[in-house]
Structures are given as structure tokens and as C-alpha cells.
Structure 1
Amino acid sequence: MQFERQPAIPCTLVEIAKGPIDTQGVTISRGVVSRASVIGVITSITEAGTILEDGTSHILLRPSEFSPIPIMPRVGEIVVVIGKPREYSGQRYLQMEICKRLRNPAWVEYRRRELALLVPREPTVKADTTNPKRAVLERIKQLDEGTGADIELLISEIPQAEGVITALLTQGDIFEIRPGKLKVLE
């Protein structure tokens, strides 16, 4: 089996601090972050690690045990850090893989604007294996913006949707507003 390296996702420290964490990474509004890319200012250096702040929150930086020792910047320097979000004894930290000084402070504003442009993904409905009819009905309601929900999209998102759609059409729970578009009868 080949190891696949995950991309570093640009995010803020408050997203890392507040999001639920598990073995996959931190869950933020745009998905799961297993490797984070953050830009901030070093505010202090302690024996436990280095404190990074980005204007939204602060976090402890610790070097990775498997990576070479990253460049350790001085207090007040602007850095970009790529690392894995971790938690130990209830304290979140970033296990650094890369730490690079940024000489141009415009990068902080660039990242702020970049993060403002990233729109959270539309939540997808996980197929309810106990009641696929309910899952299809809920997804039709979510996708319908007045013109109906696309049948092809439903079939690609929910397993067994084709058979469920046929059954719902014959029962009269949904109707085809025009070819390829479904609406829930309410």
C-alpha cells in the first residue's frame, strides 16, 4: 500500500481550536483538515513549544519527531507553518512539518482575503441506510431551489436512489416538474 500525503489546507487558528478533532484531523466548515497551513506571528517561545497567533486565536507549535528540525523563528517574526493538528491532554497544538519566515507582511493580508473567499461546502446528506426513502426526500428538498432537484445528481449521491425515486413517483410522494427535475409533493 502506498502512502498518500494529504494537502495542507489554509485555515485559521480558531478553526483548528474550535473544530472537533479525531484521528483524521480537525473538522472545519470546509471539511476535514489533516494538514493545516497557517500564517501568523510568533508571540512567545517556551519550553513546551512556540506560540503562534494569527489574529483569530493562538496555538502551540511543536516540532515533528520524524521531520528534520524546522527553522525556529524569533518572537515577532511572521511565519507560514504547515503542520498536523493534534491534541494532548485537552490542549490543541500543531505538529510542525514546515516553518518558513515570511519577509513580506503583505502575506498576512493575502491569507486573510484567501480565507474570506473560501466558501463552506454545501453539507451532503449521508444516505440513511435504514430509510432510503427519507434520505431521498430530504435531499430533494435540499437541492430544490424552486426549479426542482436534478435526478442525475440524486442518483450519483445516494446509492439505490433510482429505485427509490421510481417508487416515490408511483406512490405520488414526488413528481417530475419537467424531465430530469423532481419536486416533493407537500
Structure 2
Amino acid sequence: MNTENKNENLKRLTANRLLIKDILNSDYIKKEGWNPNYLQTEKGNISKLQLIAFIIGVDNNSMTIDDSTGTIILRVFDEENIFSSYSLGDCVLVVGKPREFNGSKYVIPDIIKKVDKDWLRFHIASLDTGLVQDEKIEGKKDIEKKSDDSTNENKEIKENNDEEISSFQKIINLIENIDNGSGASIDELIIESKLDNAEKIINTLLEEGEIFEVRPGIVKVL
């Protein structure tokens, strides 16, 4: 498989990064049979998405989040108190599936993970240049500086403990080593890791929200 096709396949397997306004401005398309329903957006047809936003409302079966471009509700129907460990003001990464009922869109979450608020600044700045402000740019610079500062430490840990850490942790450490602020190339990770199942591990980390794709073929650690 050539690099272009490999990256296209990986992209189809992972959640697409969106702003909430992208969901609200999209058309929800219902499909028959096993074909998944999807959002028809300017960024393509999306059946699985990734958001970063602040919690502005929460109860037993729903959570309302806001990323400054819009507000949307997360809903669960078969689990109670799933949101009990989250509080108003928490910044969260959400991986889930879009749904629509009576014309109102919402998200069924597969993964919810607390993240630093700087990731929301980076998320918005990288997806919507119209919203880039000095504060958001500074937030991105802070993230890049943290990545640079941690590179030497992570490299030393990797060299000393390479045989003891799991394959998943090895990929995460390698991303942190390679990432100079703009992300790490998936192709380089596959080569440098020397793991036969490196591509599968990267797919799994993307699906679980441990890493995310800042642009096609380039990933970062959350």
C-alpha cells in the first residue's frame, strides 16, 4: 500500500476533528442498512467526530458543552451517572457519533476525557483561522514550548526503559520525541518504532483519543 492510500485509510478509521459550529451548520443524513448515518459538512461526510469544549451544563444523562463557536448536548440513554465525575468549567475532549432528533443535533459520546484548556485554544486555532486571536496563538506557543521542554526527558526515558514499556507507550513516547511542536509523521513513527503492528497501534490510540490527527498523516499526544 502506498503512503497516500495508507493515510486515506487511516483517516477513514479515525474521528474527524470539528468545531461545534460545523455540526450545527451541517445536514444530518440518514442511511439504510449497515451504512452509518453522517453529517454532511464542508469538510466532508462525517459519521464519527472529535470535539474539545468546556462543560457549561451537566446532569445524569446529558452534558452541554461550548467551544465558543457553538453549544451542543451530549446524551446517553443506557447509563446513569456517566457524567458524575465531571464539573462545570471542565475542558473535555469528546469522541462520539452525531445524531439528530426533531431537527436538533446532539452527540452520543464514546469517549470523554478531561484535557488542559490550552488544547481548546489549539483546537480552535488549527481548525478556524477566523477565530485565531493573540490569546489562542500564545496558547499554541505554550503547548509547543512544553513539547520542546519535554523532548529530552522523554528521549532519556525511552532509551533507558525501552524494553520495559508496552508497545502503546513506546509509540506515545516516540511521538513526543519526534514532535517539535507541529506534530509527528505517522510514516516516521512506523519506521522508527520498528514494530510490526505500529500502524494498528496508532489506529487504536487515535480511536481511544490518546492522540489526535492535527492534519492528515500528522499526530500529536494529548
The normalised TM-score by structure 1 is: 0.53
State the secondary structure of the residue aligned to 2:29: coil
Question: Aligned partners of 1:96, 1:64: CA distance in 2, in Å?
Answer: 11
**1:109 maps to 2:116:** no
Question: Aligned partners of 1:7, 1:65: CA distance in 2, in Å?
Answer: 24
The answer (yes or no) to whether the contact 1:15–1:28 under 8 Å persists in 2 is yes
**1:53 maps to 2:66:** yes
Question: Aligned partners of 2:94, 2:84: CA distance in 1, in Å?
Answer: 10
Q: Deviation of residue 80 (structure 1)?
A: 0.3
**1:18 maps to 2:25:** yes
Structure 1 outlier segments of 4+, above 3 Å: 69-72
Question: Aligned partners of 1:8, 1:36: CA distance in 2, in Å?
Answer: 4
Q: How does 1:152-171 map to 2 (within 5 A)?
A: none
Aligned to 1:9: 16
Aligned to 1:94: 107
The answer (yes or no) to whether the contact 1:64–1:96 under 8 Å persists in 2 is no
The answer (yes or no) to whether the contact 1:63–1:70 under 8 Å persists in 2 is no
Change (3 A) 1:107 1:71: farther
Q: Deviation of residue 94 (structure 1)?
A: 0.4
- Identity among equivalent positions (%) equals 25
Aligned to 1:181: none
**Which structure's residues are more often strand, by fraction?**
1
The answer (yes or no) to whether the contact 2:65–2:71 under 8 Å persists in 1 is yes
The answer (yes or no) to whether the contact 2:97–2:108 under 8 Å persists in 1 is yes
Q: Deviation of residue 114 (structure 1)?
A: 2.0
Larger Rg computed on CA atoms: 1
Which residue identity does 2:110 align to in structure 1?
E
Question: Aligned partners of 2:38, 2:90: CA distance in 1, in Å?
Answer: 27
The answer (yes or no) to whether the contact 1:72–1:99 under 8 Å persists in 2 is no
**Long gaps (5+) in structure 1:** 118-186
Change (3 A) 1:87 1:51: same
The normalised TM-score by structure 2 is: 0.45
**Which structure's residues are more often helix, by fraction?**
2
Which residue identity does 2:118 align to in structure 1?
A
The answer (yes or no) to whether the contact 2:97–2:107 under 8 Å persists in 1 is yes
State the secondary structure of the residue aligned to 2:28: coil
